[in-house]
Structures are given as structure tokens and as C-alpha cells.
Structure 1
């Protein structure tokens, strides 16, 4: 019996090639998109699952409130986790990690024999790091791998680049950065083959080394200095919730005096390490997190795209009912029951689905590199050895086959044998109404996705063109990563100033658009640290404001010798309760016990500018003047050149003269500014791609329906042409119904798209205003797409010789 069903289904598919091709292409495309999205979501939720006893590993996060400013940080202070290990029996082990980038060491110059190159994303970690976290060791052993001072564990790509085919274990390499130059011993090489982690570090340096590691070990700050990532591993069956309830008293025991001295409120929390990658909202994350709402949207898009492909099958099957009515009648007359017919039609659905999956899988393998590039992930073919994938595929085949085939099976098998044999194949089920509803659904989805593309593009365009309050154009950024290169910055800057194309050269410890690691509370006379305003700051020379085009609206810019002066922004003025005109000359005080009270004097007030991403509002901010070259590691060069090839060639020649032992590297400030929106750009690319797929699948179904509509009305078209109807009139006649369906879809989709994009835009403090034209444009585009699809068949039908259709009977 099964063989008979399959044989019949196969013969039907071969006989109806256009019908079969449209459905197979639609199902293959839908399955490809759906499967990749599901793999992508699974990949995002797989972070940190590989660690042993991972359910017992937690990160210490910190909630801070200082003079009304609230912060929820992924970091904490250095002495917290060692004290937790000492005070709480529930804590089996702790470990800490501190990235070097926030402390001026953005790049590290690595040397081994004749090889040398810059490497970023380095961190100091406690010797217990690999006791808490499990990585796959390519070389070396996790036990006590970081126990010795100046020991080093490398990620495999770095080790391969440095050592090639040599065994790296025991080799000594030189690491030169802003903390000095030291020799490190390679004790291990790891990779990510065990699984992905939120800890994306290229090399792990022992915390019991000098430099930053020594600073962490000696740090006793319980209130401030929330700059490192701290983790605890609890004993089996220990309650994280119970431990977290003990943390307020614990913090008060050690840090009450320090917190009171600076007027800070602070709370500690335990965050399961497996939730870090998919829990946004913490400041200072080690790597970018992903909003689970985005993943839910992706899953919804995957399901809807597959449903759109199923709708094509339903619509085309019911549209061809007249072609199969007599077949159903004859089968019923010779004894086939409704159940037998349903099995046959479901068999056709499953066969099409299986063919679609069989095409989708090799296509996925071929397109995987492009799709990974699109989503900035590394989903690889190892997934195909994962049993979850095959369960996923099996589930997709079953669900798709049932969803696509159920309605046509019920509809076709419900025909009354006597009626259809006589030529009356109407059914008590309203197929035309359901077909129209399904077409509306397809274009409802397409219009929502097109609207999303338009709004996201508008916001990215707004971000790109918004006046940030400083000049980001024609600015070159040079970083000086080592003590040696920092010592030569002055000579290089002086040489650059002699170039005709160079307008201004400034030295600083950071540049605009980058995370600002420095902040401290300031207050005016009569205040104290309990009433202080927390202000972020960048240390600069006297040229920074001019080099970046920052406007001074009161007072003056820096001058040489302004060693105790600052420039503050309008927001800081407002928070301090002073007007910009009265601010110049005002003293700002600060104190962090046991240090005495210190002060700076306001030289001028800067017009507010967006020194950070447009996701955030402008906060209190100041530039702090220094004339000590040792505090600078960034150079901002403002130019007016139109020939960058020539300009960079001259600059490289000066670099080789002044800093011969370091690679010549640079970046453009406007490019760095746009990097702040990489997540949104990726989202835009993903939505663009899957919107295109949804539209293609919808158009396939619409093409098929238009073809069958033209076929069913061929005699009517012939009569109209004989009576003088024009090609344009006939095209309008055949297109009218589909246009109405698209307009209905637009009305239904607009409020949903409006709501969804309003929620997305809330992530930006500065954003575009959603306007009616965005949805009108989406509707017009959907209408044009539908008309182009339908008109190809309508024109073909309208141009057909009426004699052929009229003499058929």
C-alpha cells in the first residue's frame, strides 16, 4: 500500500513539473533559511556549556549608585572574590581576569627570534583560572599551568603565528607593552574546540607577574576600582540564592568605610556563567552580548519563512483542485476511503518536503561560509555530526509535511464522488477564501520585514550622519602600545607638525568613540564626596579640543602649563548646579581616602558632544590636562589632505625614522565611530537576507497562483479579446484581486511593524522618528513586487491567441 502511495505521488510530481518545481524550490529555500537560523540560535545558546560543573560557576556583577547615577556592571573590585573564598564555605574556588586594553595596553608587541607582531585581547588571570574553566589544551597541561610568575597560555592561532611548526611549550617570548618589556614562558596552548566562551582572550598571562597583575594583587579597594571580571565556583549542591543573600553583610563588613567616604551604594550579584552571552544590560562586558529578544525574533522569522513555503503548497494544491477532482471521484467509486486519499495527498507533501530538504542540505554546506560571514559566527560542519541536528531535521520534515499537506489532504479528499464525476467539484470547505487569507499572511510577513529593513536603514543612516558635536572626519589615530614607542611620541608628533597637510596633532590616553575607563567624583566648594558628581574623563595635552573640533562655549581652551585645569561639558555644569558662563575659574574637589582632598580648576566649558555611542545619553565628562608624555598612548592627527596615499606614505617614512622597531599602524576616527554600531549593521544584513528569502518564496507561490488563475480564466480572456479588450485591460483584470490582498496585508502589518520597530529603537538614546512614509514605502515595494510577479503571467495570458482557448471544446 505504501509503495502504491509513493508511486502515485511520484507520478503526479513528474506530470506536474511546474507545480512541483515551485513547491520544491520554495520548500528548499525555506528549509535552508530555517535550518541555518536554528543552527545560529543553537550556537548562540551554546556559550560556556562545555565547562565542568558549569551550573556551579557564577560571575560576580556589581550594582552601583553614586550621586544619583546608577550602573549595572559586569565587573567588580579586586579583593572581593579572594575574601569570598575565605569567608564562605560554599565557595570551592575563585578566579579573576583583567583585560589590559582599559589600562592603555591595547596591543602587545610579541617577539620570538626574528618574528615580531602586535597582538590584542590579552588578559592577566589568576593561577586558578583553568581550575574553574575548561578549555581544550592542544599543548601543555591545565594543572598549575599559570602557577609560576611570567607564565603564559596562548590561543592556538597566536601560537601558530609565533612558532609555526615548533613545539611552543617551554619557549620564552618577549612581550612589550605599556607596562614595560618582560619575558614570558609559554606553558600551554588552547583552542575553542571544546566549545565557545564569552571569554575571548588571545593570551592569558599569570596574575602573579609584574605590571597590571601586581597592581591587582595589591589592590584593596572595595568601593571603587570595579575593573576586573571575577568568578566563583560553588561546591556541589550549594545554593547561589542563599549565598547572594549573605553578600550585603559581607560587603558591609569589608567596605563600609570606603563606600561611606565616597558616598557610593553598592551591591553584589551572582550571575550564572551560561547566561552571560545572552544577557545584555551590563556595562563593561568582556565581549559583546546578544539580546535574547533578537534570537526569539530570529526563531519566529525561521518559523514564518517555513510557513510561507508551506502556504505555497497549500495554495497551489487547492488551486489545482479542478485538475484532481475527477481523480478523487474515480478513486472513491472504486473503493478508496477518505483516509486512503488523505494518506496519498500527505504522501505527496512528505515527498516534496524530503526532496526540498535533500536540496537544502548541500546548499547549506555550500553557502555556509557566506552565511557565517553574514552573521559573524563560525558555525561549521561539525554540527552535522550532532544528533540534535538530525532530530531538528526530522522534526522539520514531519511538521512541514503535515502543515503543508494537511489542508489540501482534507480539502481534496472531501469531494463527493458523484458530483465531481458529473463535473461539479465544489467542496463545502471554502478553498478560495482560505487561499486569499494565506496570500495575505505571506505579504503581511513580507511587509513587516521590509518595514524593519527601512527603519533599521534609516537609523543607521541617522547614526552615520548625525552631528556628534565633534569633527570625526579626516582624523588619523595612532596608538603607542609600548613604553619604548610612548617615549618617542614627542619626536613623531613634532615631525608631523612640520607637514603641510597636517593641521593639528594631539596626544591623549584615549580617543573619542572608545570606552572611557577613567571616572571620579567631583564637587564644588561646600560639598563632599557624598554629593559628588561622577564624571568620566580623558587625559590630554593642550591640542585635543582643537584636533577633534570640540567647541568651547565659555572660558578658554588649555594652555601649556595648565597642570591643574580641566575642560568640562555642559552636562557636568548642569549636574554641579553652575551655569556655563560662571564655570570658568570654579574649583572642583575630589577625595578618595586615604588620599587627601585635591582640586582642579575649570578652564572652559565644552558644548556637549557624543563621545560615546548614540545608544547612551551624554554623561558628565571632562578633559584633564597633563604634560607628562608617559601618560599618553594615543595620537590624534587632524589633516586636510585629499591624497591619503601620499600622506600616509610620508607619515610612514617619519614613523620609520622615529620609531623604527614597531609596525606602522593607523586607523581613521570616522571608521572607529561607526564600529560602535557593528551589532546593528549585522542585524541589518541578517534581516535583509532573510527578508529577500521570504519575498522570493512568496513570489514563487504568487507566480504559481497567477499562472493557474490565468489558466482557469483562459476562455473568459479569449472572449474579452474577441470583444476588443486590450492587453492592459486584461492585465489589470487579472492583477486586481492580488493587489487587494496586498493592500489588506499592508493594513494589518503596519501597526505590528510600528510597535516592533519602536521597541527596537528604544535601545538608542538618540534615534529617528518613525514616520508613516516608512510603512507606505514598504507597502508600495510589496505591491510592486506582487505586480511584477503576477504581471508576467497576466501578460502571457493576455497575449495568447484567443482562438486556441475558445476552440478547446
Structure 2
């Protein structure tokens, strides 16, 4: 071991810059590979930790989302063979507030489900008995983090918590948050019977038109999934079958990436498999760049140690000993890089998670499985990367070694140049893709077709009475307009299906919908294209409807004015106007038919503040907060700017942009480190040539041009190769968006120029050092 360590240490001392580039380049790349791989593994294994996961399915309706009526479960229990059990899951209409006696109010998530919830999904029980925890009304199971907020370190089971400053819930069990990723996101769960008490609704458990639940099935071992889906479809009444079209059963582990609509399901998290696979591919590119650097630097180092190898052969070293030495040095360098990478990963993971927004279980970082994979990969890569230089050096003749005359044929030069060109290809593709991601997100946020400047949304609480708060806000100096609405862009919408009566004809329609008052339209800057808007928000406009242009296109209607439809028994809603389409969802999704109804319901009070200087804006906001605190002392009030809500609407894309950009820049930096090392080798190999040229009168600029032209040539070749690859990849990514930015030519030009600039900056520093060196130092021994 001592004989192996000595030359490694000696090499570090003699050439510290190149050795550190080799070690840290490999270590830093492994840091990013570990983080990205763990994150992607966490995403791609969502909901695979449940014991019966292979037999659990969610009922999904293509085009209509994952919401199903509450009345479906009892029908499935009675009429659908092959189903062992069924449960319903639903969220709250508004985010609830929990409070203990004398404690501070805490906003948290709550879901409702049937008593069999914990026989479907596996959660570790800390206190109580989850098997019976949901059998009694007004009992609740809470997660450990919520229990700590409410009760500290004290036992929570048997204690009561106040729900929305009113009803009391009894804690029946405490569970751990799931260790694996899950598409269900909640902090507390209570029973369906409790929902009937906390959120009473006469029609929700009787009528098929109320679709507020997700229905999960546990199928028998030999059940036919397709047959079960057909039978469930037949259970729906005929008028709903035409609207639904068909029923799909989605396996639990596939729900997270199913891309189903989640109307009003705020407890549901949806992922994007394409983004996870892209980031996994980026991890592979980072590793590839690091390995290319390692191959180039290591091979160059071994070529410089030819004479040393010749001496070893003269004193009796066999081919096996020399090959083992090459393998050992490579393995030790990899082990050092892995150890360094694990240490850095532990330190930077929280920072990267905070910056990018990506979340995953950090327990995976210290798992035995990860360490085994790292060790196995180290062994495999060490063997593979030692094979060529080890065989080449060990099979050479001692006399040639001592003369430093191992064949430096053109094949080896072509291979090294090819690997460097590959790095530039990857860099250009990553730069182009990163630019496109920024361009698409800017396109999305700037083409929503509604006003988002100086507008805030105040979430209404049980203590914030909508008419009182609206009048109070209007009294504040600086407030321009106030509106009451169930929705603002970035929030979940409800879905509905019914029959439209128009000129004596009936037409099946389905649409997303929310309630808003007359002030909503001018505040948001929505344009009327047909008919009229609500006149003044008075009772004469109650139950009137405004639809969007897509409503007309989708159902092939020329003039919908005067058309009526029913959403509640005994109530007809009349269409009085059509507004221009606006994006109430991300541009990733197409604009859907929309019906805005004047029902008087409201979840938010929208306030438009007159534009002015920051001081006046801040004072107005402070007055708004003062009023909400006074009127709602027992409930935390959520206040958010509309432009922030728009950003939240693109949170998935923003998170992807930050993550992709961070790791792309890191890959480019690692590539630049390798190019720097290769430029050092290139200038050292030609040091005597540079000395002779300078003695003969060559200028510094001529020397720089001579040393840099090869790198420029490789960048040009890389640009030619990378452009069609980037064009194809970027086109495929844009296919995920219903509305997309143009794939401009300047994106590729910018990527090529940036890659060229990085190459010249990296190489020119070392080239300038070589060109300005005293030629006497290079020629003194000639």
C-alpha cells in the first residue's frame, strides 16, 4: 500500500492543480449525481411502499379528472364483483384551523375518508390504534409533526382540538409521515361521518352530480381490471355516462404521474415523470463529463510517467504488478472522490433543497443501499477506466519506456479530441435547453391575459364576513377596487356537467366553474366579447352566468346568450355574456370551458391597490392586515399578492427551471475544469515548440492563436453536432405545453457563443501563461 500511496502523493505535490481538478471534478460531479439520483428515485418510487399497493386502484375519468361522487362507493360495494373493498378520500373546502385549549391557532391540512383508510395505506403508528381510529365520528388521526405543534412532546391521544374555533375533535391516533413519497399530502385525517357534521351538504351524499371524492379500490387477487372498470361505468346513471365517456382504473403507484385533473383536491400532489427522467438524464450527463475528464487527465498523467514505468520493468516488475498498480491508483482516487462527495453532499443537500424546492427523504442519503451502489460503481469504473492505460503501459517495452517513446499515434489523439468535443456537445445542449426553459416560463407568465399588478387576495375565514370585510376594505385610502370570488388564478377549480337549454334544444356541457361578483371582471381586466357583464352585483344579476370563448368553441355554439342550465334542483342559471379567453391554469394545460356564476359564494376577497410608491403601497397593505387581524382574531388570515399566486401556478415549472439550471451550470463548470487541465497538458507538451517560436520572433498573440485554435475547432464541430440534438430534445419538451414559445434560432446561436466563450476563457488563461514564459527556461537543457 505504501508503494502505491507514495507515487500518488508525489504526483499531487508535483502537479497540484491538475490533481485537484481530477479529484474535485470527480467528487463534485458525484455530489450532483447522488442528489439527482436520490431525488429521481424518490419521485419514481412514489407510493410503492404500501403493502397492498399492487392491488389498489384509483377510479379515474379521462378528461374529467380523478373526482367521483360520494354515492359511487355504496354502489360499488353492492354491484361490482372483484372489488374487496372501496374507500373515499376528500379534502376540505377551506384550509382548516386547529387549536388546543389556550394554544395558538394552527393552519393545517385535513382529509376525510372511510374507516378502512389505514387498511389501504400503510403509515407507522406512534400512538393509538389506526385500525379503529376512524370508526367513531369526531375522532381524528394526526401526524407527528402536527402533534408536536399542538401538544409539544406530550401524549396527544385522547386529547381534544378545536376545529375552526367551533367543533371539538378527539385525537384517536398519531402517525408518522410516510418515509416514501406519496401523492396524498395531509397532516390529519378524520372520517366521512365527521365530514357530514363539519361540512354539512344536503346533496353531496345523495346526488351523482357532486364529485368531491377520490375513490380507491382494493381488487381481489384474480380480478380483471378492465372488467371491473366496465362494470363501474355501468353503475353511473345514463345521463352521466355520456359525459364521462369511460372509466379507467389507475394503479396506485401510477397515480402520481397520471396527469389527471385534480379539481378542488388540494390534498393531492401530482408529479411529472418527464421532468424526473430529464433530471435523471442530466445526472447521467454530469457523470459522463466527469468520467471523460478523468480519462483525459489520467491518460495524460500516465503518458508522463512512462519513464518511471520503464525503471520498474528494468528492476523486475511484471505486467501484472504494473497493471495492479494502475488499477490501485485509480481505485484509491475514486474512493477518495466518493468519500469527499458523501461529505459535501451531507453539507449542501439542505441548501440545494431550499434553493430548488425539490424535496426527498434524506434518509436515503445514509442508507446501506446507497453506499453499496457507490462502492460497486467505484469498483466497476476503476476496473474499466484502468483497463486501457494499464494494458497499454504494462505491455510496452522497457527500452521504449526509458526513451519516453510509447507510440503517440493519431488514434489516441483523435480519441482525446473526440472526448473533449463530446463535452462541448453536452455543454451546448444544456445551455440551449436552459435558455428555452427560461423563455417558456417568461412566455407563460406574460401571456395570461389578465391583470395581476398590485392585486392581493385575502383568504376569508369563518370570522371574516364577506360583506363586512368588503365594505371595510373600500374605506381604506389607496384601495381602488374590491371583489368577492371563489377563485383566483393559481387556485383549484370545481368541475360540473349538466344540460344546456338553448333555443329549445338541449346540449350536454361540462365545464370548470366558480362564483364571482361584478367587480371581479374589471379588476382582472377581462374583456367582454358578447352580451354583457353583471351590472352592479345586485340581486337582479343573481344566478347569471358569464362563459369564456372556449365554452362556445368546445360545444359548437354561435350565440349562447339566453341559454340556461341547472346546477341545483329548482335553480336555472342564465348565460348573459361571453368573455375573452384567459389562462386560469398553467400554459401547460389547454384553456377549458369556463362558467363564472354570480351565486354569492366567496372564498377570497380580492383587493386592487392604486399604484404608487412603495411607501404608500406598504401603508395600504398594513391597514388591510390590521383590519383582518381585528375581525378575525381566532383565525390566521392568508394574504397573498396575485403575481405570487401566478408564480405558484407555475411552481412545478419554476422548481424544474431552478433545478435544471443549477445542475446544468454545474455540469458546464466541471467540463471547463477538464478543459483547463487538458490545456495545461497541451501547453506543457509544446513548451519547447513555444520557446523556439518566441526565439524566432513569434508574438504572444500568435502563440495564443496557435494554442487556442484547436479548442475553437472542437467547439465548432460540437456546435454542428449539438444543434440537431438540442432541437429534437427541445421540441419534445415543448410538446408538454398546450401553449408554447417559439423555438428561436438565437437560442442555438447563444448556446454556441457561450460555449465558445467558456472554452476561450478557460484555455486562454493557461495559453497566456505559456506564451509569456521566458523561452530560456524551456530551452536551457537543449
TM normalised by structure 1 equals: 0.90
Change (3 A) 1:318 1:385: closer
Residues 616 and 764 in structure 1, CA contact (< 8 A), matched pair in contact too: yes
> Does the aligned pair in 2 maintain the 1:49–1:274 contact within 8 Å?
yes
Partner Cα separation in structure 2 for residue 334 and residue 160 of structure 1: 71
Note if 1:153 corresponds to 2:141.
yes
* 8 A contact 1:313–1:405 mirrored in 2: no
1:800 partnered with 2:773: yes
Contact 2:542–2:598 under 8 Å retained in 1: yes
2:152 is equivalent to residue 164 of structure 1: yes
Change (3 A) 1:54 1:623: closer
Q: Counterpart in 1 of 2:741?
A: 768
Provide the C-alpha distance between the structure 2 equivalents of 1:243 and 1:462, rounded to a whole number of angstroms. 42
Q: Is 1:219 the equivalent of 2:180?
A: no
Alignment counterpart, residue 248 of structure 1, candidates 223, 226, 230: 230
Distance 1:18 1:608, change over 3 A: closer
C-alpha distance after superposition, 1:621-659 (max 9, x if no partner): 222123x4xx22211111114322200222233334544
Q: Quote the Cα distance in structure 2 between the aligned partners of 1:604 and 1:296.
A: 44
The runs of at least 4 consecutive aligned structure 1 residues that moved more than 6 Å come to none
Residue 345 of structure 1 is matched in structure 2 by 326
Say which of 509, 521, 526 aligns to 1:545: 521
Whether contact under 8 Å (2:32, 2:283) holds in the other structure is yes
Question: Which residue number corresponds to residue 587 of structure 1?
Answer: 562
Identify the residue that residue 98 of structure 2 maps to in structure 1: 110
Q: Residue 340 and residue 477 in structure 1: after superposition, are their counterparts in 2 closer, same or farther (change >3 A)?
A: same
Return 108-117 or 285-294, whichever deviates more.
285-294
**Mapping for residues 95-494 of structure 1, pairs under 5 Å:** 95-100=87-92, 103=93, 105=94, 107-176=95-164, 181-192=166-177, 194-209=179-194, 210-211=196-197, 215=201, 219-222=205-208, 224-235=209-220, 238-240=221-223, 242-252=224-234, 254-259=235-240, 263-284=242-263, 286-320=267-301, 322-379=303-360, 381-427=362-408, 430-466=411-447, 468-482=448-462, 484-485=463-464, 488-494=465-471
Q: Equivalents in 2 of 1:527, 1:410: separation in Å?
A: 87
Partner of 1:91: 83
d(CA) in 1 for partners of 2:605, 2:28: 50
Structure 2 alignment gaps of length 5 or more: none
Q: 1:532 aligns with which of 508, 518, 523?
A: 508
Whole-Å separation in 2 of the counterparts to 1:512 and 1:290:
20
Q: CA RMSD in A?
A: 2.6
Secondary structure of 2:340 counterpart:
helix
Equivalents in 1 of 2:627, 2:168: separation in Å? Answer: 29
CA distance 1:654–1:192, change in 2 (3 Å): closer
Task: Tell me by how many angstroms 1:211 deviates.
Answer: 4.2
CA contact (8 A) 1:78 1:217 kept: no
Q: Would the aligned equivalents of 1:476 and 1:637 in 2 still touch at CA under 8 Å?
A: yes
User: Structure 2 vs 1, CA of residues 515 and 663 (structure 1 numbering), >3 Å: closer, same or farther?
Assistant: closer
- Aligned-pair distance for 1:45? 3.1
* Matched residue, 2:46: 47
Q: 1:385 to 1:359 in 2, by over 3 A?
A: closer
Q: Return the alpha-carbon distance in structure 1 between the equivalents of residues 182 and 450 of structure 2.
A: 37
Alpha-carbon distance, 1:215 to partner: 4.6
**Separation in 2, partners of 1:704, 1:608:** 56
The answer to whether the 8 Å contact 2:64/2:244 transfers is: no
**What SS class does the counterpart of residue 115 from structure 1 fall into?**
coil
Once residues 304 and 110 of structure 1 are traced to their aligned partners in structure 2, the CA distance between those partners, rounded to angstroms, is 47
CA distance in 1, matches of 2:200, 2:78: 20
User: Does structure 2 conserve the Cα–Cα contact (< 8 Å) formed by 1:318 and 1:412?
Assistant: no
Is this contact kept in 2: 1:504–1:547, CA < 8 A? yes
In structure 1, distance between residues paired with 2:421 and 2:395: 25
- Counterpart CA distance in 2 for 1:296 and 1:536 is 31
Structure 1 runs not aligned, ≥5 long: 64-70
Aligned equivalents of 1:213, 1:96: Cα separation in 2: 16
1:74 paired residue number: 66
Instruction: Look up the SS of the partner of 1:289 in the other structure.
Output: coil
Alignment length, in residue pairs?
773
In the alignment, what sits opposite 1:66?
none
CA-CA distance at 1:29 after TM superposition: 1.1
Separation (CA, whole Å) in 2 of partners of 1:83 and 1:578: 36
- Quote how far apart the aligned CAs of 1:51 are: 2.3
Q: How far did residue 454 of structure 1 move?
A: 0.6
Shift in alpha-carbon separation, 1:527–1:249, aligned structure 2, 3 A: farther
